[in-house]
Amino acid sequence: MSPLPLLHAISLSRIGALGVHLPEHLRHGSIAASFELSASLPTSKPLYLDVPLDHFAVKGPSWRLKYYVNATQFTAGGVLLVTMPSEGATRGCPSGELAQALRAASVCSQHRYFGDSVPLGDSSTRAFTKYLSVEQNLADVAALIRHARSQLFPAATAVVVQGGSYAGASSAWMRRTYPKLVDAAIAQSPPVTAVYDFARYDVSNLVALSSPDSRCAQAQARVGAALTSLLHSSPGKLMRLFGAAHYEGSPTGMVDFAYALGDSSSSAVQYGRKSILCEALQPGYSSPSSASPSAAGEAPHDDLALAALFANYTRHAWGNEYFSSCFYNSSCMATATEGPVAQSARSWYWMKCAHLGYLQTAPQQGLSTRPRQLTAARLIEQCAYIFGAGAPLVTPATVEQFNAKFGGGSLAGESRIFEVDYSDDPWKMA
């Protein structure tokens, strides 16, 4: 059987075995420990390929694209399996069941401006505006594929790209943009449609938490309502309860803190560990709070009790330094403009703030897992603070233009794009 028809015969378990990628800021606490992230990747040295810093300019400087190769599964007639770079550092290139099934040579690159791949050591808004975009990333991978096919694996019979989440969307965009270079794409949970106001992300998390026991979703909604109330009435007290007093007095402290609170629960769902969250919330399954009309007359200590319950969960799940990361600190991101960007936070925020949206807002009607202070307006203000006045920030109009260019929901009409979604994954909503 030739490699491309073989894709149809590969089990979902093999396609799904691309590995768990936890962002750097989530690699602490019990949830990270449950993934055994200390397991080492196959030992290999990084390789480098000189590529244009601006693929769309007539001439200009080049930079060194970092990548890894794993040929342990490659045999005659096999394919070139390219893992699209994610929004973080790349530390190696695993070769799992999918590579084995395809008899593939695996190639994994690191996204420009993520990890230690910072061209010219410049992470300024000016540099990002010119050089950090979906288009430049896809062009980097295209250059790497051409190099790998001609210089490393000329016997490869086809090119398959793969990835999950943002890298999954990039896989689909890669197949659409370079159909003569890429023969097929496997996209796991790919948010292929850019979204400005992404409240559906929160709705999906509540639905996921309702199974197998709806009391978990109800308790998380009560927590969300309690956090909303306390952020309005006693923000400093709430921040101190979570060990996050450094947000007090910060220009963006409220939105940074609220965003971290939202991620604390949503990340457990996204990475398949909602059971840890639900177990922690069990004492709150019957607690009253401002999430329910019957709680209108309840004393504030009920909200504080729910907040304390969630604070204990957050420390256990994500570690004591969770709120100290640059990812939840706009001032850190605003000033980290030279060399490797702390936890790649500034770079990913740029991709969202300038290109993709994915503004993870709280629904303003109905139930919510996160504080309702997270509105699109506040999140865009956060973007402006990080990247400065005049930065070309995302708008509903630019999102529409992006989707027109890269297909958005119409990607279902493209050939040889294999999309794998999971019932609990909130990114399926994009």
Half-sphere exposure of 279 (CA within 13 A, CB side): 9
Determine the pLDDT at residue 40.
53
Instruction: Classify residue 127: in a domain, yes or no.
Output: yes
| CATH, residue 136 | 3.40.50.1820
Residue 430 included in any domain: no
Query: Is residue 429 in a domain?
Result: no
Largest CA distance in the chain: 73
Task: Identify the weakest region by mean pLDDT among 29-38, 122-131, 330-339, 399-408.
Answer: 29-38
Task: Convert the pLDDT of each residue in 204-246 to its tens digit.
Answer: 999 999 999 999 999 999 999 999 999 999 999 999 999 999 9
Same domain assignment for residues 163 and 217: no
Dist. CA 20–CA 164, nearest whole Å: 9
**Coil vs helix vs strand at 203:** helix
Instruction: Give the length of the chain.
Output: 430
Give 276-303 pLDDT, tens digit per residue: 999 999 999 986 655 444 444 443 559 9
Q: What is the pLDDT of residues 10-23, one digit of tens each?
A: 544 444 444 557 78
Same domain as 413, residue 392: no
39 and 116 housed in the same domain = yes
Question: What amino acid occupies position 321?
Answer: E
Residue 230 lies in a domain: yes
Q: What is the pLDDT of residues 332-352, one digit of tens each?
A: 999 988 766 666 899 999 999
- Check residue 42 and give its pLDDT: 61
On whether both 106 and 200 belong to a single domain, the answer is no
Same domain, 252 and 184: no
The whole-number pLDDT of residue 17 equals 45
- Regarding whether 293 and 173 lie in a shared domain, the answer is no
Q: Looking at the structure, do residues 173 and 113 belong to the same domain, yes or no? A: yes
394 occurs within a structural domain: yes
pLDDT tens across 97-140, in order? 899 999 999 999 999 999 999 999 999 999 999 999 999 999 99
Residue 54 has pLDDT above 50, yes or no: yes
**Residue 154 belongs to a domain:** yes
- The CA-CA-CA angle for residues 207, 212, 217, to 5°, reads 40
- Among residues 117, 115, 96, the alpha carbon closest in space to that of 162 is found at 96
The average pLDDT across 167-196 equals 96
Q: Read off the pTM.
A: 0.91
Mean pLDDT, the chain, whole residue set: 90
Same domain, 131 and 224: no
Q: How far apart, in whole angstroms, are the C-alpha atoms of residue 145 and residue 169?
A: 18
C-beta neighbour count of 52 within 10 angstroms: 17
Rounded Cα distance, 325 and 345, in Å: 9
Is 149 found in the same domain as 202? no
pLDDT of residue 76: 87
Percent of the chain predicted with pLDDT > 90: 79
Mean pLDDT of 41-56: 90
- Residue 43 has a pLDDT of 64
The model's pLDDT over 76-101, given as tens digits with 9 standing for 90+, comes to 899 999 999 999 899 899 888 899 99
Lowest mean pLDDT among 79-93, 253-267, 409-423: 409-423
- Mean pLDDT over 251-262 rounds to 98
How many domains does one find in the chain? 2
> Which of 79-93, 187-201, 413-427 bottoms out in mean pLDDT, i.e. has the lowest?
413-427
111 located within any domain: yes
If asked whether residues 389 and 329 sit together in one domain, one would say: yes
> Do 99 and 188 fall into the same domain?
yes
Find the range with the poorest average confidence among 148-152, 247-251, 423-427: 423-427
- Which pLDDT value is given to residue 46? 96
Question: Domain containing 93: what range?
Answer: 3-192+407-424
Report the C-alpha gap between 310 and 314 in whole angstroms.
6
Evaluate whether residue 218 is within a structural domain: yes
Residues 286 and 311 in one domain: yes
Please answer whether residues 88 and 21 qualify as being in contact, where contact means their C-beta atoms are separated by less than 8 angstroms. yes
